[in-house]
């Protein structure tokens, strides 16, 4: 699906999806289990929201064993990246985004033991 402003704003209209995107960042990749821990939500709910973001063309997924890892689609248009940057600046230091980030393990502490 080609990302349009309508698709993007529709996907971002849900707080859970916005929280997920704020945890990803421009060059990060996260496993479903990391989102469930950081957002303190059940895996089926997280997976459904991730599927919406993937279907909108915002995320790409990669399977690693039993786990699926998500990252921003590398071919996102510049205008969409500008939107994400502006939203990230607006969310910085505010809850629930700040609390989500605190619950997320730092990258150096992540590894195969994080999921599973």
User: What one-character-per-residue DSSP string does 32-48 give?
Assistant: HHHHHHHHT--HHHHHH
Going by pLDDT thresholds of 50, 70 and 90, the confidence category of residue 116 is: low
Span of 64-73, 83-92, 100-109 with lowest mean pLDDT? 100-109
Going by pLDDT thresholds of 50, 70 and 90, the confidence category of residue 107 is: low
List, in order, residues 6 or more apart from 100 with CB less than 8 Å away.
Answer: 19, 22, 23, 38, 39
- Spatial distance between the Cα atoms of 108 and 29, rounded to a whole number of angstroms: 13
Judging by DSSP bridges, how do beta strands 59-64 and 67-72 pair with one another?
antiparallel
Q: Report the CATH number of the 5-105 domain.
A: 1.10.10.10
For the chain, the domains span 5-105
Q: Encode pLDDT of 2-60 as tens digits.
A: 899 999 999 999 999 999 999 997 668 999 999 999 999 999 999 999 999 999 999 99
In terms of pLDDT, which residue wins out, 106 or 70? 70
């Amino acid at each position: 699906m080609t990302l349009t402003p309508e698709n993007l704003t529709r996907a971002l209209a849900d707080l859970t999806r916005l929280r997920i995107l704020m945890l990803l960042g421009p060059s990060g990749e996260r496993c479903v289990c990391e989102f469930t821990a950081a957002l303190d939500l059940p895996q089926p709910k997280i997976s459904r929201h991730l599927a919406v973001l993937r279907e909108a063309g915002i995320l790409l997924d990669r399977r690693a064993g039993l786990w699926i890892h998500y990252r921003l689609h590398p071919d996102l248009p510049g205008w969409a990246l500008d939107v994400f940057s502006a939203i990230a600046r607006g969310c910085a230091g505010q809850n629930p985004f700040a609390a989500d980030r605190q619950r997320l393990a730092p990258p150096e502490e992540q590894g195969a033991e994080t999921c599973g």
